[in-house]
Amino acid sequence: MDKVQMLLPVAIGDYTDFFSSMHHAKNCGTIFRGPENPINLNWFHLPIAYHGRASSIVISGTDIIRPRGQGHPTGNSAPYFGPSRKMDFELEMAAVVGPGNELGTTVDVNEAANHIFGLVLMNDWSARDIQAWEYVPLGPFLGKSFATTISPWIVTLDALEPFACEAPKQNPSPSTYLVEKTSINYDISLEVLIKPSGQADSCVVTRSNFNHLYWTITQQLAHHTINGCNLRPGDLFGTGTISGPEPESYGCLLELTWNGQKPLSLGGTSRTFLEDGDEVTFFGYCQGNGYKVGFGKCSGKIVPSPQ
């Protein structure tokens, strides 16, 4: 078994990343804009997303090369250029598209589950310093496109049906095309472990759950197609970082360390952001009566940027 090589489970043609956790949106907004109005008004009316880079999606176990790019200027200096100083993980899951739809057609939100084959774990690695400098006005680019890791196992929605649970109540009520007859999430326990460089043991840094998502995966898919965009079999769309309401359930180091202000203790060492040699591993599972439905693991190790 140790000679088995895991591969990407599908040929991914297109990749979209959503921003569907209210707790994550609130924390990020508070960090960067202050607590007065942390979440933009449009966030409560539609599932926010951006088009990602499918070519750099890699399978669990692939090393992640620290990206280079520009960062914010300090004072009157020119923008910093070099290896990212704020490497982060993002705890996400991703839906794999099944049948899809033809260009110019839409998928009804109440039929959207029929177009989702299943779910995988996903780590949408982020270079926070590169992202912070580049994202205005068009959003993420080099800060995200260098790598995204997924687990090799696709767990179908049929297998997840026993773990369906009620999704959070949405206020205000969304537009008609996003209103579901039955709005569900899934009770999927999620864990993040970091194995610091040079240490033998990993430390659990996050325990969260898929059921914290505000916008459901079916709403995400329906919104994606409302303008006639065609989805194809094997397309991937990420949930966005899945953070819960408590600090121990935050889904990235940006939140866990409050943008580096509160270093995270990791068994004799500490981190604000990831260092070279650090390995991050996600686990996910549904707990049944005497059994578990597992998602395998989603892991990657940070290696130095090329000179």
Which residues are known catalytic residues?
Answer: 24
Distance CA 129, CA 119 (A): 30
Coil, helix or strand for 43? helix
Helices (H) and strands (E) in the chain, counts: 6, 21
Q: Is 157 left (phi over 0), alpha (psi -120 to 50) or beta?
A: alpha
Identify residue 140 by its one-letter amino acid code.
Answer: P
End-to-end CA distance of the chain: 36
Which neighbouring-strand residues pair with 195? 279
Q: Which two tokens stand for residue 217?
A: 């995966």
What CA–CA distances, in Å, run from 192 to 105, 123, 182, 206? 38, 10, 30, 5
Cβ count near 229 (within 10 Å):
16
Q: How far is CA 197 from the centre of its chain?
A: 23
